[in-house]
Each structure stands twice: as C-alpha cells, then as structure tokens.
C-alpha cells in the first residue's frame, strides 16, 4: 500500500513540474508595441528626474549642469555631471538617450541613435515642466487651470 501512495505522489509531482515547465515555455510574451510604450513611459519618468536634479542644482549654484547618458554599442556613456549628481543608471534596453541642454533650458530623451533634428523624442522644459514632442510623437494634452491645453505626455503615432 505504501509503495502505491509513494508512486502516486511522485507522478503528481512530475506532472505538476511538467505543467509549470510548459507554462514557462509557452507563456505569453509582451508585444513589441507594449514594450515600446513602457520604454516611452520610462523615458518620461527619467526626464522628470533630470528636471528635478537640474532644478535643485540650479537653485544651489545658480547654474545648470550639462548631463547626458548615451548608448554606444552595448554600453551607456555618462557625462561626469551625471555621476556627480548621483543620478540613477539608465537601463540599456530602454532605447532612449538622454541629455540636458543648459543653453536651451531643457532636457530631452531621443530614440537611441537618432539624436539631432528630426529624431523622435520628448523634451521637457526645466523651468516650467512643459513637454514638447519631437519627430512623429504626438502630444497627450489636458486643459490647464487657465483653459489652455497643456501637453502632459507624448505617445508614438
């Protein structure tokens, strides 16, 4: 009797492990578009972080710090200011390069490898926090307190 119970338990454990392995193997993968939307959201969050860091630095020193994080090959290259301000590292898989442009008073995230005019990206004004959508990105707007439309995010078209 004992041997039969032990065999049944062993079969049940084997069957459960087989089902869990099959679930892992055939689980639904995120769609590329979903992943891109998540990366776009992460880029907007990073821009808010950069804006806050630049604002705090400007309030304490009366100047802005040039910042950038660019993907070159498989590595991220950070400016010295990025590390001095103890900003978080950017995941290499996000697909965006970041830079703060003190002369323009803005920080921007552009799709990796497409920096310059015409590239898709998002720009945030350091002083006001207003977004500007670059390239083919479309603005997501809401009505502000004064009745004017305010861009609160950008989305891929």
Of residues 118, 105, 128, 133, the one with CA closest to residue 44 = 133
Of residues 131, 137, 93, the one with CA closest to residue 112 = 93
pLDDT band of 30, cuts 50, 70, 90: low
CB-based contact 67:79 (threshold 8 Å): yes
DSSP letter string over 87-140?
PPPPPGGG-EEEEEETTTTEEEEEETT--STT--EEEEETTT--EEEETT-EEE
Residues near 10 by beta carbon (within 8 Å), at least 6 away in sequence: none
In the chain, what are the domain boundaries? 32-127
Confidence (pLDDT) at 50: 93
Q: Output 33 or 12, whichever has higher pLDDT.
A: 12
Q: Output 142 or 91, whichever has higher pLDDT.
A: 142
Report angle CA 59, 62, 63 to the nearest 5 degrees: 110
Confidence (pLDDT) at 79: 92
Q: CA-CA distance, 106 to 88, in Å (whole number)?
A: 19
**pLDDT tens sequence across 100-145:** 988 899 999 998 855 444 578 999 999 888 899 998 889 999 988 8
Confidence (pLDDT) at 33: 67
Parallel/antiparallel/unpaired status of strands 96-101 and 131-134? unpaired
Overall pTM > 0.85: no
Average pLDDT over residues 13-29: 79
**pLDDT tens sequence across 46-76:** 999 999 999 999 899 988 888 999 888 778 8
């Amino acid at each position: 009797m004992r041997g039969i119970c032990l065999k049944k338990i062993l079969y049940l454990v084997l069957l459960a492990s087989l089902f869990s392995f099959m679930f892992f193997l055939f689980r639904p993968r995120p769609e590329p578009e979903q992943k891109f939307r998540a990366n776009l959201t992460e880029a907007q969050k990073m821009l808010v972080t950069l804006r806050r860091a630049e604002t705090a630095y400007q309030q304490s020193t009366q100047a802005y710090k040039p910042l950038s994080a660019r993907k070159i090959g498989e590595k991220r290259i950070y400016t010295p200011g990025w590390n001095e301000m103890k900003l978080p590292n950017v995941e290499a898989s996000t697909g965006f390069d970041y830079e703060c442009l003190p002369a323009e008073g803005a920080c921007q995230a552009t799709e990796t490898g497409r920096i310059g005019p015409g590239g898709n990206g998002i720009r945030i004004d350091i002083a006001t926090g207003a977004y500007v959508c670059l390239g083919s990105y479309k603005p997501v707007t809401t009505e502000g307190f004064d009745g004017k439309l305010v861009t609160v995010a950008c989305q891929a078209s």
